[in-house]
Chains A and B, each alone.
Chain A
Amino acid sequence: MYFYKVPKFVDTNLLAFYYTSNCPLFLDEVFMADKIDPKRLSDLNDRLNAKKSVSKKEAKHEDHYSGAHLGWRMVIELVVGMLMGLGIGYGLDHLLGTLPLFLIIFTILGFAAGVRTMMRTAQEVQTEDTVIDSDDLSIKNMDDSDD
């Protein structure tokens, strides 16, 4: 039904690819058109899959935001972790009246937590890189393993 509305000069396959690659909602509408013979449909499907796998690889490469932002993210995580530890420690001390004790302990713990968050961020980026390049650097692939 939809295909009759499309002008002659538009490649319908290309149009279908445009929608499936950008907007999965429209997949139904494209394939709901009942005027297509099944052979052409499966042929189209194959070509779409081929194109999709290519575009997915390209999309992964685009995922990198610039290094400066990654740097800021890590710095903020580090500082926030330490400040949170400081706050928790000071709060506990204020309640219990043991001023330097918990302040010191929780500042150190907070710093460790900041480093932990930062390292996790670094690991995330590294995993992303290794998935893309498929290097055998033997870094454990954290995601996509359980589905």
Chain B
Amino acid sequence: MAKEEAGNGLVFHPMDQFQIKTLFGDGPVHWYSFTNVTLWMGLTLLAIFALLVLGTSRRAMIPNRIQSVGELAYGFIYRMIEDVAGKDGVRYFPHIMTLFMFIVFSNFLGLLPMAFTTTSHIAVTGVLAMGVFLSVTILGFAKHGLGFLSVFWISSAPLPLRPILALIEVISYFVRPLSHSIRLAGNMMAGHAVIKVFAAFAAVLAISPFAIVAITAIYALEVLVAFIQAYVFAILTCVYLKDALHPHH
């Protein structure tokens, strides 16, 4: 937020926008304090509620604009699950739809000027990815029992190699939730920080036209990234779900 010029030197504060602050009163952030994260997560939920519940409350045969957008989002996720995870993956539609709507709305709300991007924090995306990881793993064990462990036991490899390969497979299984969360948070944080850096350059008269054009261009890119990252998060959840439902390939 703070963009100031001290003497001749430029002052960059690209990471200030990610600070978590209490909104009412100051002092340290407790688990119960109402922070900017709380505010923007609440706004995200309100926006989703407005689109999916209020927007479709009339259930008109001919939908108005908001209802068509809600139905489009529904159909988009539904078809994606059907394509990637198959017909029996559709049962887990609510989980994936919830994830997608939450991420896409917090990404887009974060693009508003002065807004706080909740998905730029690894704590948020980590919890989302952890939820996916745990639910998919538990689902795999519930569906296949201990046979789910055969994902890690590559029967096509020669016997002496199998324990080592199993170790590698286990590590690569744990890589997935980590890369899942880092990708989303990293993309959001990087884009917003780059915008701030260019904004600091805009204070210099000679390069300010270039900086403003660059901000516009990066903002357009960020709009794209905001959707694509939510989409990638959802589609990878579908892929993991497919692996849990059909582990024997």
Contacts and interface: CB of A to CB of B under 8 A. Distances in A.
B114 interface: no
Nearest to B227: A65
Interface in A31-83: 59-60, 63, 65-66, 69, 72-73, 76-77, 80-81
A84 B178 contact: yes
Contact of B169 (A6, A23, A113): A113
B171 A147 contact: no
Given A85-B171, A88-B171, A143-B86, A80 B178 contact: yes
Given A117-B175, A120-B172, A147-B87, 17 more contacts: A6-B62, A22-B74, A22-B75, A23-B71, A23-B78, A59-B83, A60-B83, A72-B183, A72-B187, A73-B232, A76-B183, A76-B186, A80-B182, A84-B174, A110-B171, A113-B175, A124-B239
B169 A77 contact: no
B79 A59 contact: yes
Interface residues of B, number: 35
Nearest to B70: A23
Interface string A118-134: 00100010000000000
A129 to B, nearest CB: 14
B86 A24 contact: no
Nearest to A24: B78
B228 A69 contact: yes
A77 B232 contact: no
Given A23-B71, A24-B78, A144-B86, A112 B168 contact: yes
Interface of B: 61-62, 71-72, 74-75, 78-79, 83, 86-88, 164, 167-169, 171-172, 174-176, 178-179, 182-183, 186-187, 228, 231-232, 235, 239, 242, 246, 249
10 contacts: A2-B61, A60-B83, A65-B231, A72-B187, A80-B175, A85-B171, A109-B171, A113-B168, A124-B239, A143-B249
A99 B169 CA distance: 24
Nearest to B170: A113
Contacts of A94: none
Interface residues of A, number: 40
Which of B78, B86, B87, B174 counts the most chain A CB atoms within 10 A?
A: B174
Contacts of B179: 73, 76-77, 80, 117
Given A72-B183, A76-B183, A147-B87, A65 B172 contact: no
A143 B88 CA distance: 13
B229 to A, nearest CB: 8
B136 to A, nearest CB: 15
Contacts of A146: 246
A22 B86 contact: no
A137 to B, nearest CB: 18
Contact of A22 (B72, B186, B187, B232): B72
A8 interface: no
B33 to A, nearest CB: 31
B232 A65 contact: yes
- 10 tightest Cβ-Cβ pairs between the two chains A and B: A113-B171, A113-B172, A22-B75, A117-B172, A23-B71, A116-B172, A80-B179, A81-B175, A23-B75, A112-B168
A10 interface: yes
B171 A69 contact: no
A120 to B, nearest CB: 8
Contacts of B83: 59-60, 63
A105 to B, nearest CB: 9
B178 to A, nearest CB: 5
